[in-house]
Amino acid sequence: MKSIAYQKPGQIEETRYEKIHNVVFPSDKEGSIAVAQEIADLIRRKQEAGEYAVLGLATGSSPIKVYDELIRLHREEGLSFKNVITFNLDEYYPMSPDDVNSYHYFMYQYLFNHIDIDPKNVHIPEGNIPLSKVLEYTKQYEEKIRKAGGLDFQLLGIGRSGHIGFNEPGSHINSRTRLVTLHHITRVDAAPAFHGLNNVPRKAITMGIATIMQAKRIVLLAWSKKKADIVKRTIEGDISSDVPATYLQKHDNTTFVLDEEAASKLTRIDTPWIVKDVKWTDEMSRKAVVWLSEKTGLPILKLTDNEYNENYLSDLISYQGSAYDLNIKIFNQLQHTITGWPGGKPHADDTFRPERAHPIKKRVLIFSPHPDDDVISMGGTLDRLVEQGHDVHVAYQVAGYSAVSDEEALKFLEVNKHLGLSHTKINELLEELQIQNREQDSAELRKLKAGIRRAEATAALRFLGVKEENIYFLDLPFYDAPEFHKRKISPVDIRIVQNLVENIKPHQIFAAGDLADPHGTHQLAFEILMKVLENIKKKAFAKHLYVWLYRGAWDEFDIHEIDMAVPMSPDQVLKKRHAIFYHQSQKDLVMYKGDDIREFWMRAEERNKKLAEKYNALGLAEYEAMEAFKRYYF
């Protein structure tokens, strides 16, 4: 396994922009196992010396797999926690320890209930002490850490605000454990767990920067594309209280453990030609030329040797011959990605087209994780596929009830009440809606909310001309786990998707290859599809199957990654907007929009227009908007 042992930054040329040591793993699982291993080694070393290991622990989504692995090491490899003392970084304020959203609850649920730690060695800031006692309490917390001999190891996550613990922008390097006010982004990120922003506490008690910096060893975890910007800023930017995590640049035993997505914006990974020799594959050359064109503001065909030489790309032109040849080659590649025929153009020469001309009428299966990703992400393309005569099927993978607000459910219940339908059930549901902070909606309420989304999705597809018998609501069971963190795919999920694929035997599958959605639903939906493709790849129909990935509402592909770009006319943009409007429960008061307050149709439109502008700025034709796809080879 890759070592995460600390190395002083600045020693390796390729990392010259990086001021914090970091190790990149293919996935969060592998990274978490390496971190758990380091913690286990520390605990065992201390055991042998008859000492306590003092651990600083974090909550949130980042450390969950580290805790899973520690539990596994305890159960299967006899790792004991009898000699472990823990101090948690933070707790919301005010917050009762038995609240399901408290960090107390989290720590017992994800770690302490499953290991042999002595409860008196566990310390988590208390969120329910009176305000007048907080100052005294925080001093005592510091004192307890000091008396335990200081932190041997501190585990951290990083917030998109750049916070560590709950040390938000503006925190001082000398800060100690104290009461703080949470940043808006932090509250937005916590909103889903609290069923809405208004329920998220405004304050928290957190260890200070100085408290954290005194730890002998610090490991910060960051997973997923959502963290890529803040990771780059923290590792490559200057130290600033605006991004408190940058203080870690001063700590000489800190390692960031990242997955590939979180590391994707580091210079050595995003624009590697700046820091090292690269292998000029087609995709890498395309990436470099698009980058150069965007950086210089020149269309591709106007780039000269000068621009290449002045921007670390002399190697690329010497490899390709000349700027002139390279420009034309890349320009043509991009030109060939554009097509108004996403299902292939009948009777046309398809040598340079993204899709085959034949069969003329294709069976198309569109997978949509939630019951609206289809129209948001590829409404224009879906419309074209139907209009161009293909047999279009749409499958919604999860029920999507979590994103239906109580207000919306109430509206529908009232309609039903008005119609006089089954009074007892309606009254029970009306009562349930009165309960604030419910742990999970009852099965009936979820069914109602899911029903709302089904009706909306069906209406949108009817508007686009998809036949009702071609619409499938798969209601994959992984979505039903009571907490987002606990969602795991099972063979049942895979079977359901595989049955559908085997029944339809599609020529084309469109699916969300989008890894940045807030709850990981898209990621799990994608993993299920990958497994299904693996299972069916030897079947005869799979030989003729093209898989196209689209990105969801949160993200877009980079130009160099795009294999098919489908332009839209102004009228098609409007039609797509109408299709999105059918998803009324996702309008206005959408529950999980993240920190972007625009409605989904606005985001989709802006993103599609931006993509068209980007193509145009590279020197390609000017379109109103575009949707993008990447081919997935299996």
- Hey, which residues are catalytic here? 168
Strand order in the sheet with 625-632: 471-473, 391-396, 363-368, 508-512, 546-550, 625-632, 564-568
Q: What is the residue whose two structure tokens read 């798969």? A: 474
**Binding range to ligand F6R, per CB under 6 A, among 145-153, 159-167, 231-239, 549-557:** 159-167
d(CA 67, CA 59): 10
Fill in the per-residue mask, 271 to 310: x = in contact with ligand F6R (CB under 6 A), - = not in contact: ----------------------------------------
Measured from the CB atom, is 53 or 158 closer to ligand F6R? 158
In 3D, which of 308, 330, 399 has the Cα closest to residue 585?
Answer: 399
- With H, G, I as helix, E, B as strand and everything else as coil, classify residue 155: strand
Give every CB contact of residue 605 below 8 A, 6+ residues apart in sequence: 573, 576, 577, 625
d(CA 90, CA 166): 7
Measured from the CB atom, is 205 or 529 closer to ligand F6R? 205
Measured from the CB atom, is 185 or 494 closer to ligand F6R? 185
- Rounded to a whole number of angstroms, the minimum distance from the CB of residue 4 to ligand F6R is 18
Output the CA–CA distances (angstroms, integers) from residue 127 to 11, 58, 178, 196, in the order listed: 43, 15, 12, 20
> Residue 157, interface with ligand F6R (CB under 6 A)?
yes
Locate 376 and state its tokens. 């948001």
Bridge partners (DSSP) listed for residue 394: 366, 471
- Rounded to a whole number of angstroms, the minimum distance from the CB of residue 222 to ligand F6R is 8
- Rounded to a whole number of angstroms, the minimum distance from the CB of residue 265 to ligand F6R is 17
- Rounded to a whole number of angstroms, the minimum distance from the CB of residue 189 to ligand F6R is 7
Measured from the CB atom, is 188 or 364 closer to ligand F6R? 188
Measured from the CB atom, is 83 or 206 closer to ligand F6R? 206
Fill in the per-residue mask, 55 to 74: x = in contact with ligand F6R (CB under 6 A), - = not in contact: ---xxxxx------------
Q: Which amino acid is at 290?
A: V
> Residue 244, interface with ligand F6R (CB under 6 A)?
no
The reply to whether omega before 359 is within 30° of 0 (cis) is yes
Give every CB contact of residue 386 below 8 A, 6+ residues apart in sequence: 392, 464, 465, 466
The gap between the terminal CA atoms of the chain, to the nearest Å, is: 27
- Rounded to a whole number of angstroms, the minimum distance from the CB of residue 410 to ligand F6R is 31
> Residue 159, interface with ligand F6R (CB under 6 A)?
yes
- Rounded to a whole number of angstroms, the minimum distance from the CB of residue 596 to ligand F6R is 17
d(CA 17, CA 4): 19
- Rounded to a whole number of angstroms, the minimum distance from the CB of residue 252 to ligand F6R is 21
- Rounded to a whole number of angstroms, the minimum distance from the CB of residue 486 to ligand F6R is 14
In 3D, which of 291, 286, 225, 217 has the Cα closest to residue 255?
Answer: 217
Closest residue by beta carbon to ligand F6R:
157
Burial category of 153 from C-beta neighbours within 10 Å (exposed 0-12, middle 13-18, buried 19 and up): buried
**218-222/153-156 β-pairing:** parallel
- Rounded to a whole number of angstroms, the minimum distance from the CB of residue 223 to ligand F6R is 8
Q: What is the residue whose two structure tokens read 């239906």? A: 404
> Residue 163, interface with ligand F6R (CB under 6 A)?
yes
Number of residues forming the site for ligand F6R (CB under 6 A): 14
Among 31, 56, 127, 165, binds ligand F6R (CB under 6 A): 165
Give every CB contact of residue 368 below 8 A, 6+ residues apart in sequence: 374, 377, 394, 395, 396, 397, 457, 512
**Binding range to ligand F6R, per CB under 6 A, among 53-61, 250-258, 438-446, 481-489:** 53-61
Measured from the CB atom, is 9 or 159 closer to ligand F6R? 159
> Residue 399, interface with ligand F6R (CB under 6 A)?
no
DSSP E strands, 321-437: 363-368, 391-396
Among 25, 93, 110, 166, binds ligand F6R (CB under 6 A): 166
Output the CA–CA distances (angstroms, integers) from residue 44 to 41, 49, 65, 156, 565, in the order listed: 5, 9, 20, 21, 55
d(CA 370, CA 593): 14
Fill in the per-residue mask, 115 to 154: x = in contact with ligand F6R (CB under 6 A), - = not in contact: ----------------------------------------
Fill in the per-residue mask, 437 to 476: x = in contact with ligand F6R (CB under 6 A), - = not in contact: ----------------------------------------
Measured from the CB atom, is 463 or 484 closer to ligand F6R? 484
Measured from the CB atom, is 59 or 285 closer to ligand F6R? 59
**Binding range to ligand F6R, per CB under 6 A, among 160-168, 171-179, 302-310, 336-344:** 160-168
Alpha-helical segments (H) within 357-405? 373-387
Measured from the CB atom, is 161 or 327 closer to ligand F6R? 161
- Rounded to a whole number of angstroms, the minimum distance from the CB of residue 146 to ligand F6R is 20
Among 18, 28, 69, 90, binds ligand F6R (CB under 6 A): 90
Give every CB contact of residue 523 below 8 A, 6+ residues apart in sequence: 515, 517
In 3D, which of 215, 221, 241, 270 has the Cα closest to residue 28?
Answer: 221
- The most distant pair of C-alpha atoms in the chain lies apart, rounded to whole Å, by 80
**Binding range to ligand F6R, per CB under 6 A, among 164-172, 500-508, 516-524, 605-613:** 164-172
- Rounded to a whole number of angstroms, the minimum distance from the CB of residue 574 to ligand F6R is 38
Measured from the CB atom, is 159 or 567 closer to ligand F6R? 159
Measured from the CB atom, is 167 or 271 closer to ligand F6R? 167
> Residue 89, interface with ligand F6R (CB under 6 A)?
yes
CB 201 within 8 A of CB 125: no
C-alpha angle 453-458-463 in degrees, rounded to nearest 5? 130
Q: Note the residues at the interface with ligand F6R (CB under 6 A).
A: 58-62, 89-90, 157-159, 163-166
